[in-house]
């Protein structure tokens, strides 16, 4: 999570047991990010995802028989509680997330929350903040 100036607020990741489902990972990341934003009393939020499928599942009516219908509904309820804009971004524009995902694969920790950026992320944050 970053503020409007591109400055680092926090990083989190969670181990998803017995799953390699990318859609589940994307939805869980959005859900937990929205939960943290609510806990931090962030009233205005822009959420970027490089998954158009994920964004469409959130923006449009939920199919009741969808595997992640409950999780999608939880996300929608959080969006109703705070001012959230969901936007698509190209994977190339999402270098910080790619860096953190790769960092996550090299760790066996179930859950991690960091109040400061891990080694190597600071330069990518500066590039993003500059709009490069």
The first and second tokens of residue 112, run together, are 């991690």
Residue of 63, 54, 9 whose CA lies nearest to 31: 54
**What whole-number percentage of the chain has pLDDT above 70?**
61
Q: Is the pTM of this model over 0.85?
A: no
99 in Cβ contact with 125 (< 8 Å): no
Q: What is the pLDDT of residues 13-47, one digit of tens each?
A: 665 666 667 788 888 888 988 898 898 888 888 88
* Assigned architecture for domain 11-129: 2-Layer Sandwich (3.30)
Determine the length of the chain. Answer: 132
Distance CA 121, CA 12 (A): 13
Q: What is the pLDDT of residues 71-83, one digit of tens each?
A: 999 999 999 998 8
């Amino acid at each position: 999570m970053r503020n409007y100036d591109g400055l680092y607020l926090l990083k989190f990741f969670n181990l998803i047991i017995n799953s390699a489902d990318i859609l589940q990972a994307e939805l869980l990341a959005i859900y937990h990010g929205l939960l943290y934003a609510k806990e931090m009393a962030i009233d205005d939020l822009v959420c970027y995802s490089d998954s158009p499928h994920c964004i469409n599942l959130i923006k449009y009516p939920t199919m009741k028989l969808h595997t992640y219908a409950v999780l999608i509904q939880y996300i929608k309820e959080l969006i109703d509680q705070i001012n959230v804009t969901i936007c698509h971004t190209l994977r190339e524009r999402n270098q910080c997330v790619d860096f953190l995902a790769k960092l996550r694969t090299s760790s066996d920790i179930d859950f991690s929350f960091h109040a400061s950026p891990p080694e190597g992320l600071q330069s990518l944050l500066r590039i993003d903040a500059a709009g490069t």
